[in-house]
Chain A
Amino acid sequence: MSRLEAKKPSLCKSEPLTSERVRTTLSVLKRIVTSCYGPSGRLKQLHNGFGGYVCTTSQSSALLSHLLVTHPILKILTTSVQNHVSSFSDCGLFTAILCCNLIENVQRLGLTPTTVIRLNKHLLSLCISYLKSETCGCRIPVDFSSTQILLCLVRSILTSKPACMLTRKETEHVSALILRAFLLTIPENAEGHIILGKSLIVPLKDQRVIDSTVLPGILIEMSEVQLMRLLPIKKSTALKVALFCTTLSGDISDTGEGTVVVSYGVSLENAVLDQLLNLGRQLVSDHVDLVLCQKVIHPSLKQFLNMHRVIAVDRIGVTLMEPLTKMTGTQPIGSLGSISPNSYGSVKDVCTAKFGSKHFFHLIPNEATICSLLLCNRNDTAWDELKLTCQTALHVLQLTLKEPWALLGGGCTETHLAAYIRHKTHNDPKSILKDDECTQTELQLIAEAFCSALESVVGSLEHDGGEILTDMKYGHLWSVQADSPCVANWPDLLSHCGCGLYNSQEELSWSFLRSTRHPFVPQTCLPLEAVGSASNLTLDCLTAKLSGLQVAVETANLILDLSYVIEDKN
């Protein structure tokens, strides 16, 4: 009863977006995320005065999960970006920047939220349908029969995370490893429904990145002493595996709600141990070669098994249970009694391995979709960043497998899209407005706000004071270094566009991204031969970018629609 306390009244604020505090916090967040964006993005060091380790990152997932956001509006923004990242891994910063830009640009216009939201939605669906259409000029098909485009995709992800601290050579190496790890998870004889396997990332810190490697099967880390105790098995056929999920430590299992009275002199421990040894005998007579246990194995049972040349490994932990079940084809055993012969699985071979200072027990599968990616990096923070990046890349590859398309990266998709929308709203506003109550002027205003929001996302790719240009044919992005002389001889200053598809020797005309241009039709329908010839493209994941775009516009709409904020002060 004493915990019953009167609740404090909530704080209610109207028109939250107009308040100065919200604007400044929004712009602070925007500055944080924009400065992280892209290959030359600046790193953020997050450290907590109360302890914990220092995190150096430029990735949205690490950044936002560490940031302590208190204002409810920012919370909406950051959680929606975080939710996007946790389902698609990629394009988090893009989403956050676009959302901030949209809010900022639209607020300047002073139109009613109804109009803004309605038109933003129209423009979004215009973008989505264009990016999904056959005529889209900024997406390319992904060919799974060659590694070229897949490698480009992985490399683009790695280079966009400068906090991994990789050299060019290391980037190449890690990209290849990630692609191998991904390919190993695809089952060989897939019919109809494909179930992908898993790549487990094994940490190896304080090693050279070049030492990273991919191995099929599962690595179980062990101390050297333990590993020495394991007897080498020499067997030509596959090894029989028993995997226990129940404890083999001799605990007395649940006895029910009532009381159990044990008479004097009766030792339950002995009784259970007898049971365990019986189990051991059964395992031996079933010719099991390898006993794995999620929990603890009683030392006597371990001894017994070792005596009979059975390898016993315990304390596997719950995370490895699923991949182990999958790889060995066992049924996790939950019984100390009779074990059904169907529950046993098999592995091709086992061996011990040493990487750096760590010792591993390596289970080699017959044919399975589980592999281990041993990832090395120089220090903890760089390793954490690299691990996140690898997970992102693996996820992006999975998404690409589902939807085999990639978008041109390096900002070219955004500028191209902006050019397309400008052209569309300028030449054919009726088809966008349809039966709506909005006027064409309102559409022009919002479209300009939308396009410049997209363009300033790519504008934030440039951190070193350079200029960003766009060409008037493809609508791609070109960047010039800061110290280059201001002359009109663009073809010599520029070499390739952001994604690397076009070079400057074509007859193109350029203009600054910030300047106003006449709407032009960006060339649609990407020619396939152009893609085939280019070897070093920067690519983005289509699925992630589409969702990022949608989430950014939806979230901006949500925030613009707010008329009150009620803060619970309890």
Chain B
Amino acid sequence: MLSSMAATGSLKAALQVAEVLEAIVSCCMGPEGRQVLCTKPTGEVLLSRNGGRLLEALHLQHPIARMIVDCVSSHLKKTGDGAKTFIIFLCHLLRGLHAVTDREKDPLMCENIQTHGRHWKNCCQWKFISQALVTFQTQILDGIMDQYLSRHFLSIFSSAKERTLCRSSLELLLEAYFCGRVGRNNHKFISQLMCDYFFKCMTCKTGIDVFELVDDYFVELNVGVTGLPVSDSRIIAGLVLQKDFSVYCPADGDIRMVIVTETIQPLFSTSGSEFILNSEAQFQTSQFWIMEKTKAIMKHLRSQNVKLLLSSVKQPDLVIYYAGVNGISVVECLSSEEVSLIRRIIGLSPFVPPQAFSQCEISNTALVKFCKPLILRSKRYVHLGLIGTCTFIPHCVVLCGPVQGLIEQHEDALHGAFKMLRQLFKDLDLNYMTQTSDQNGTSSLFIYKNSGESYQAPDTGKGSIQRPYQDTVVENKDELEKTQTYLKVHSNLVISDVELETYIPYSTPTDTFETDETLKCLSLERNRLTDDYEPLLKNNSTAYSTRGNNRIDISYENLQVTNITGKGSMLPVSCKLQNMGASQSYLSSSMPAGCVLPVGGNFEILLHYYLLNYAKKCHQSEETMVSMIIANALLGIPRVLYKSKTGKYSFPHIYIRAVHALQTNQPLVSSQTGLESVTGKYQLLTSVLQCLTKILTIDLVITLKRHPQKVHNQDSEDEL
């Protein structure tokens, strides 16, 4: 059976889906986020602020929703962080795209727009947009990261060469991470716990392999205990196995251990063989032989000072008995993960009982510091003091909590933190394309001039802009709602009028236009004569600002729109020039491991700022548009983070301060302490863009109403 969905609404549908998801995840986002309770089909309850978990728990049926969730989970698998930001960012991107394309259909728009409407129809079909997104992601983003953003990066390492990590900076990083992951009353405690764990496990030569080890075996490295307050969680030296001893013989001093993966007692027959019993005596002798052999092996182990036997299978009673007689403690039924973890820590291969018995030394033994039972809330565990041969010093986390759901949340968060650190400790390769101009003198001059201009623009404009703007800030600080009246009062002043507009989007959150655009709008006005290709951008921003503003504004802006459209027609010419003149070259560089930025939307605001600058320089309309949309969507994240803040810490204030600092080349001051990984943010951005590309490239969803077929592997069939 086949039914189809109209493709035209796919963006709208995606936006609707994303908005629903946004509503859910934004409530658990950031330091003020709250918890979500999920029930499992088994009836268990799980507390979570982990975006990935929530999305999975929803069991969404909508095809686009499912695709989004898939994208999120594949992103999480890699980075362990950013599911909520993913959704919010994606939602804002879709909203931006929707707003851009909506304008095209708006019948109320005046005649002049129609030329542009045709333009959008021609170039902004989904395919082109998605292509532009791909181009942006593969060729432009890295360049902006490398050329502009990198100057703001801090390093988590106290000395970059040796990659030494000081506790205070790790604390800052982790506290910020756990802020968004665990309950408010526990995040400090959990981040301290993680910090302790990190420094207890790591030696000074710790490399990335240890993160991989902890990440891969995190389940085996922690123990959950219900019924105790969270504050009873702690770090235990050594490894805790979630089993009890089959036999426990207290031992001290030189304890050696072996790992076995099969039963030590020889059996009558192995698989595929046949054992023929001809007489009762034969049976008795073979039983006797088996017994003696087992006894001898255990005695031999004993003579080699082996006092601990770890087995991945259940051993027969006979083995257990002789182990006890010989003072060897036994732990049975270890999972394969536990065995491979122990093998990785101590580099030990399993012991195979020798076929022909000899008195030779057993090579596969390892020294253990201690081995004793550990009792946590009346349940018994095996506690091993392994002596690691790699750079990992084995430690375990005991996580306590009143309910299992909370313990799982903390476990998840700790695991995610290791994933995040694993990514942070990697260098990130950046490849991008730059446009260098060599032969074409005029066009290179042109580009140079333009870029110079647009760079200068904020600076030249600054003197006149900043002063009145700051005044209005002071005036309006307490009364955001009154902006409308202020607007009327000041509307005759050109400069303050533009400044006041910056307030409006925040009092009306549905609005989608940006402060920076209007700021630049002003600077653009000054450069109008020199910048031929910029009206498009300008048109963009003014068109944005006309929506939802009061009448005075509209008439004023409409005046501008008519002005601009005349010049807009020149755009294709300059674009062509650009394409002919510039020759492209690929650059590659890398971002060193450990790059961090202060939390609180710093990354987003920085990237937003530089993207807008870039968009101004850029000559292709798609590129400009994509950069603008992305730049604006980025601001959605800090806006959610500062949602509950008021006064000096509200988002508009933070944003304006940041932009001001950037324009005057002052260091950014963050209101929050805490750091976040740049790599994580970068990966998130690329994942979201990939997801968006995926959504845009789909033109038809075909619903199949039958059970999924087993996918046969074509290759293997061919081989047959």
Contacts and interface: CB of A to CB of B under 8 A. Distances in A.
Interface of A: 1-2, 4, 6-10, 12, 14, 16, 72-73, 75-76, 79-80, 83-88, 112-114, 117-118, 120-121, 245-246, 253-263, 266-268, 270-271, 274-275, 331-338, 340, 342-343, 547, 550-551, 554-555, 557-558, 561-570
- The secondary structure that dominates the A interface is mixed
Closest 9 CB pairs of A and B: A258-B269, A256-B267, A334-B317, A334-B321, A83-B227, A257-B271, A80-B402, A87-B227, A563-B34
Contacts of A557: 183, 185
13 contacts: A14-B27, A87-B228, A255-B267, A256-B270, A274-B280, A334-B322, A335-B317, A336-B291, A337-B287, A554-B230, A554-B401, A555-B402, A564-B36
Interface in B16-71: 23-24, 27-28, 32, 34-41, 43, 45, 47, 54, 57-61
Contacts of B280: 266-268, 270-271, 274
Given A87-B227, A267-B280, A79 B60 contact: no
B229 A271 contact: no
A266 B377 contact: no
Nearest to B708: A4
B556 interface: no
A267 B277 CA distance: 10
A550 B231 contact: yes
B59 A563 contact: no
A563 B39 contact: no
B406 interface: yes
- The secondary structure that dominates the B interface is mixed
B59 A8 contact: yes
A245 B402 contact: no
Given A72-B39, A118-B184, A563-B35, A570 B229 contact: no
Interface in B119-151: none
B278 A335 contact: no
A170 to B, nearest CB: 29
B51 to A, nearest CB: 12
B28 A261 contact: no
Given A9-B60, A72-B45, A563 B28 contact: yes
Contacts of B325: 331, 340, 342-343
A274 B227 contact: no
A450 to B, nearest CB: 14
Contact of B269 (A80, A259, A270): A259
Given A261-B275, A334-B316, 7 more contacts: A75-B45, A84-B227, A261-B274, A270-B280, A332-B321, A333-B321, A342-B325
Given A87-B377, A258-B270, A570-B41, A562 B226 contact: no
B401 to A, nearest CB: 8
B707 A114 contact: no
B403 A263 contact: no
B324 interface: yes
Contacts of B183: 117, 557-558, 561
B318 A83 contact: no
A396 to B, nearest CB: 14
B37 A271 contact: no
Contacts of B278: 263, 266
A275 B280 CA distance: 11
Nearest to B273: A258
B267 A266 contact: no
Interface in B394-422: 401-406
B284 interface: yes
A566 B402 contact: no
Nearest to B48: A566
Contact of B320 (A260, A270, A271, A334): A334
Given A114-B184, A555-B402, A558-B47, A260 B269 contact: yes
A261 B378 contact: no
Contacts of B283: 266, 268, 271
Given A117-B184, A259-B275, A563-B36, A83 B403 contact: yes
B277 A568 contact: no
A332 B319 CA distance: 12
A335 B318 contact: yes
Given A86-B227, A267-B280, A338-B291, A568 B41 contact: yes
A73 B317 contact: no
Contacts of B295: 338
B6 interface: no
A117 B187 CA distance: 13
Given A84-B227, A333-B321, A566 B58 contact: yes
Contacts of B41: 568-570
A118 B185 contact: yes
B402 A334 contact: no
Interface of B: 23-24, 27-28, 32, 34-41, 43, 45, 47, 54, 57-61, 183-185, 226-231, 267-281, 283-284, 287-288, 291-292, 295, 316-322, 324-325, 377-378, 401-406, 644, 707-708, 710
A568 B42 CA distance: 9
A69 B291 CA distance: 54
Contacts of B279: 263, 266
Contacts of A9: 58-61
Contacts of B708: 4
Contact of B37 (A256, A259, A268, A565): A565
A271 B284 contact: yes
Contacts of A112: 644
A80 B403 contact: yes
Contacts of A114: 32, 184, 644
A334 B39 CA distance: 45
B505 to A, nearest CB: 25
Contact of A255 (B40, B45, B268, B319): B268
Given A1-B707, A565-B37, A337 B227 contact: no
A257 B270 contact: yes
B27 A564 contact: yes
A443 to B, nearest CB: 16
A121 to B, nearest CB: 5
B404 A566 contact: no
A79 B404 contact: yes
Given A258-B271, A547-B228, A246 B317 contact: yes
Contacts of A270: 280
A337 B291 contact: yes
Contacts of A80: 227, 402-403
Given A4-B707, A261-B275, A254 B34 contact: no
B404 to A, nearest CB: 7
B24 A564 contact: yes
Contacts of A85: 227
A340 B326 CA distance: 10
B324 to A, nearest CB: 5
Contacts of B24: 12, 14, 564
B39 A567 contact: yes
A547 B228 CA distance: 7
Nearest to A398: B378
B284 A275 contact: yes
Contacts of B270: 256-258
Contacts of B405: 76
B59 A7 contact: yes
B489 to A, nearest CB: 34
Given A117-B185, A245-B317, A554 B402 contact: yes
Given A117-B184, A343-B325, A566-B54, A73 B37 contact: yes
Contacts of A275: 284, 287
A9 B183 CA distance: 26
A547 B273 CA distance: 59
A6 B61 contact: yes
B612 to A, nearest CB: 33
A76 B403 contact: yes
Nearest to A85: B227
Contacts of B318: 246, 334-335
A261 B644 CA distance: 79
B266 to A, nearest CB: 8
Contacts of B36: 562-566
